[in-house]
Amino acid sequence: MSEINWAALQQAAKNAAAQAYAPYSKFPVGVAVLASSGKIYSGCNVENASYGGTICAERNAIAAAVVAGERAFDALMVYTPQEMLTPPCGICRQVIAEFFTPDSPVASCNHLGQQQSWTLAELLPSAFTPTYLANSTKVGA
């Protein structure tokens, strides 16, 4: 596991939020993920008039890291320029569970420098993951 430099993750997430395309919600989000390699990848939300086509910052950051060959991660930071500390949405929690461990820290910070952390298991207990599938009983076996 890489050493977690929370200040670097906060700055990367804040920089990503500045690039968000959020003309509909007016809710820019930036995310930074720390890969087990020690590299930081970031992403922002990209909205679409067809709301189903919107891509969350968490999924953009993870996708950017996967394109670079990463498959394991140690931490995730969400930044929003508002007072409320915002954890990832449900679909993002499921995507995070694909690449992070249940005890991985997932944090949120804001423009005031406040931060709150959870483990992935706290955000998504009993997650449906590759490990779960590998350990489940196959139907008809």
Task: Name the DSSP class of 55.
Answer: B
122 in the Ramachandran plot: left (φ > 0), alpha (ψ -120 to 50) or beta? alpha
* Measured distance CA(83)–CA(98) in Å, rounded: 29
Q: Which two structure tokens, joined as six digits, stand for 99?
A: 């690449």
Residues that are catalytic: 58
